[in-house]
Amino acid sequence: MSAAADTVLCCLNDNEKSEEPASWNVSVLRAFEDGIMGFFFDEGHIVTNSYLNECKQLAGETGKTETGIAKTLGNSLGADLVVILEVFFSEPEPDQNAVPETVRFIMYSKDGKPYSEGSEMAIDVAREQGDEELLDSFTIIGRDIAETLMSEL
């Protein structure tokens, strides 16, 4: 990574199959995103974001693989680094919001080369917390993920 500020594109996804994710799931994704993007911003980088499905559409034919997404979007959008984060939710209990069980994350250079094999992390949060406290926990986890990714550079 260069001494100058890099541009970091964060692509997010969840395991929900519908076109329109549940509003709670979107809030959870945004909390992870806030943590990741906040960390990179605090480190002096330029940050931008998109949902993974939009990244795939923007990448076109090369959007079939994460490497293709990173290479295409890195070059066309000027992103030096592309972070891909997927959040996997459990089935919610009746009258409760779904809670993430695991996240998978990896960071690529703009030429599509991964900085690592990628990581998967179990999410262990107290489900008895209120929604705001849960979202704060996910933001903290997002920052931890970004710190892990930075250490791989």
The Cβ-side half-sphere exposure at 38, using a 13 Å CA radius, reads 15
User: Does pLDDT of 1 surpass 50?
Assistant: no
| Displacement of CA 12 from its chain's centroid (Å) | 4
The first and second tokens of residue 125, run together, are 């949060």
Note the CATH number of domain 7-151: 3.40.50
Q: Are 25 and 98 in contact (CB under 8 A)?
A: yes
Under a CB-based contact definition with an 8 Å cutoff, are residues 121 and 11 in contact?
no
- Residue of higher predicted confidence among 37 and 118: 37
* Of residues 34, 10, 19, 6, the one with CA closest to residue 85: 10
> If you average pLDDT over residues 49-78, what whole number do you get?
77
pLDDT above 50: residue 47: yes
Whole-number Cα distances in Å, 70 to 38, 59, 94, 135, 141: 21, 8, 38, 28, 23
- Summarised one tens digit per residue, pLDDT across range 72-128 is 877 777 889 989 898 998 887 777 788 899 999 999 988 888 988 889 999 988 777
Tell me the domain boundaries of the chain.
Answer: 7-151
